[in-house]
């Protein structure tokens, strides 16, 4: 369905050098495939999507859709935008139009259908994304998840063959992510051809039939989600999918900003969609600091989270100490009971730097 050959995109930088955002990319997408595209920031993921629908004209290469060369300067852009829709990270809704107005506008302007038919089609798409009751609501009154579902309905109203999603979950609160994921999964089951740029590894694994890992504008690895996430063949891919997100605090004085630390922990949990673990992590950290407050030894606290398997842990290094604070004779037994009750598992390790405790959440 989509055949990409030699796709290249260069940008001139302020110092006059050229940044190679896409580097001779070759790609074939079959009809009905759901392709998740992963990689670090600046790897070329969004640039690939934007060149596929000609929001960015490539510097070189060719893109064919069912044999039609959309990189041909004479190719009609309205035909491309009929066939290929795009959903952005920011919802890009017209704030002066209702939900129905947003979804029905493009079919009227681009496809030339009358208002009655366009609104009937829009209502059908709003039903699909479970937003029919919001048809006459203004976008400002919607939650982030509802606005993104409206954007998806707007895309569907054009009845495209292909939908490109550029970080569709990034601007959403954790509570809203599930409702947008549900719509994308529904479209996948219906056989819609989709390319999805996302930084959410579990979603990229679960929703796709195929995964691409990009780095420095190149497709480093291309395979099934099972291959890419569980058995990557490339060292770059393995390092990326196995990466652990960490938040680290070194406490060397009683005058450290406890409230700032807790705020950063809360933001970390929200960013990586582990808000359900926020209270547990906070309580374990707080109780451990209370236990350690009677000693004057420096403490390092780490909150670690794996995006792929969603394993989360709190690591506390009590520097210079050889005995676990949970096992001292003068320990507060109620505090220890609370900490053990909130942790799935606790591992204690003697290190040259001190006693390290790992609390699995």
So where are the chain's domains? 2-241, 244-360
pLDDT on residue 284? 94
Closest CA to 139 of 170, 105, 93, 178: 93
pLDDT given at position 344: 93
* Cα(192)–Cα(184) distance, integer angstroms: 9
C-alpha closest to that of 216 among 78, 3, 9: 9
Structure confidence at residue 293 (pLDDT)? 83
131, 169, 359, 321 alpha-carbon torsion, rounded to 10°: -140
Residue 303 pairs in a beta bridge with: 247, 314
Average model confidence (pLDDT) across the chain: 92
Q: Between the CA of residue 310 and those of 243, 267, 298, 359, what are the distances in Å?
A: 11, 16, 29, 14
Tell me which of 3.40.50.2300, 3.40.50.300, 1.10.10.10, 3.30.1490.190 is the CATH number of domain 2-241. Answer: 3.40.50.300
The string of DSSP codes covering 293-347 is TTS---EEEEEEEETTT--EEEEEEEET--S-TTS-TT--HHHHHHHHHH-SEEE
Contact at 8 Å (CB) between 219 and 27? Answer: yes
Band the pLDDT of 135: cuts 50, 70, 90. Answer: very high
User: What band does 178 get if pLDDT is binned at 50, 70 and 90?
Assistant: confident
Phi then psi dihedrals of residue 148, to 5 deg: -70, -40
Per-residue pLDDT tens for 261-283?
A: 999 999 898 878 788 899 999 99
How many whole angstroms separate alpha carbon 21 and alpha carbon 43?
A: 7
pTM of the model: 0.80
> pLDDT-based confidence at 24, cuts 50/70/90?
very high
Q: How confident is the model at residue 232 (pLDDT cuts 50, 70, 90)?
A: very high
Answer yes or no: CATH 3.40.1190.20 is held by domain 244-360: no
Total residues found in the chain within this entry: 361
End-to-end CA distance of the chain: 45
Question: Which pLDDT does position 294 carry in this prediction?
Answer: 81
Does position 7 have pLDDT exceeding 80, yes or no? Answer: yes
């Amino acid at each position: 369905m989509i055949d990409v050959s030699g796709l290249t995109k260069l940008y001139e930088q302020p110092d006059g050098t050229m940044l190679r955002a896409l580097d001779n990319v070759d790609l074939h997408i079959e009809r009905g495939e759901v392709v998740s595209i992963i990689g670090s920031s600046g790897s070329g993921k969004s640039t690939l999507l934007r060149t596929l629908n000609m929001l960015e004209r490539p510097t070189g290469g060719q893109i064919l859709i069912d044999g039609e060369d959309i990189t041909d300067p004479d190719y009609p852009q309205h035909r491309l935008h009929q066939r290929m829709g795009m959903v952005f990270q920011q919802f890009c809704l017209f704030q002066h139009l209702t939900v129905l107005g947003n979804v029905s506008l493009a079919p009227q302007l681009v496809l030339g259908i009358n208002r009655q038919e366009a609104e009937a089609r829009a209502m059908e798409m709003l039903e699909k994304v479970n937003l029919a009751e919001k048809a006459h609501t203004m976008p400002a009154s919607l939650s982030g998840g509802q606005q993104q579902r409206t954007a998806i309905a707007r895309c569907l109203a054009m009845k495209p063959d292909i939908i490109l999603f550029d970080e569709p979950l990034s601007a959403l609160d954790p509570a809203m992510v599930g409702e947008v994921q549900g719509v994308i999964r529904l479209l996948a089951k219906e056989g819609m051809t989709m390319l999805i740029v996302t930084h959410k590894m579990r979603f990229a694994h679960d929703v796709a039939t195929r995964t691409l890992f990009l780095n420095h504008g190149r497709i480093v690895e291309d395979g099934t989600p099972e291959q890419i996430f569980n058995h990557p063949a490339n060292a770059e891919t393995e390092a990326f999918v196995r990466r652990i997100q960490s938040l680290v605090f070194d406490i060397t004085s009683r005058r450290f900003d406890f409230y700032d630390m807790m705020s950063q922990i809360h933001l970390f949990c929200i960013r990586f969609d582990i808000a359900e673990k926020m209270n547990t992590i906070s309580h374990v950290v707080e109780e451990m600091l209370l236990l350690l407050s009677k000693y004057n030894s420096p403490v390092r606290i780490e909150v670690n989270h794996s995006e792929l398997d969603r394993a989360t842990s709190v690591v506390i290094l009590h520097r210079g100490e050889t005995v676990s604070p949970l096992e001292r004779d003068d320990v507060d037994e109620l505090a220890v009971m609370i900490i053990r009750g909130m942790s799935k598992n606790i591992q204690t390790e003697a290190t040259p730097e001190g006693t390290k405790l790992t609390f699995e959440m």
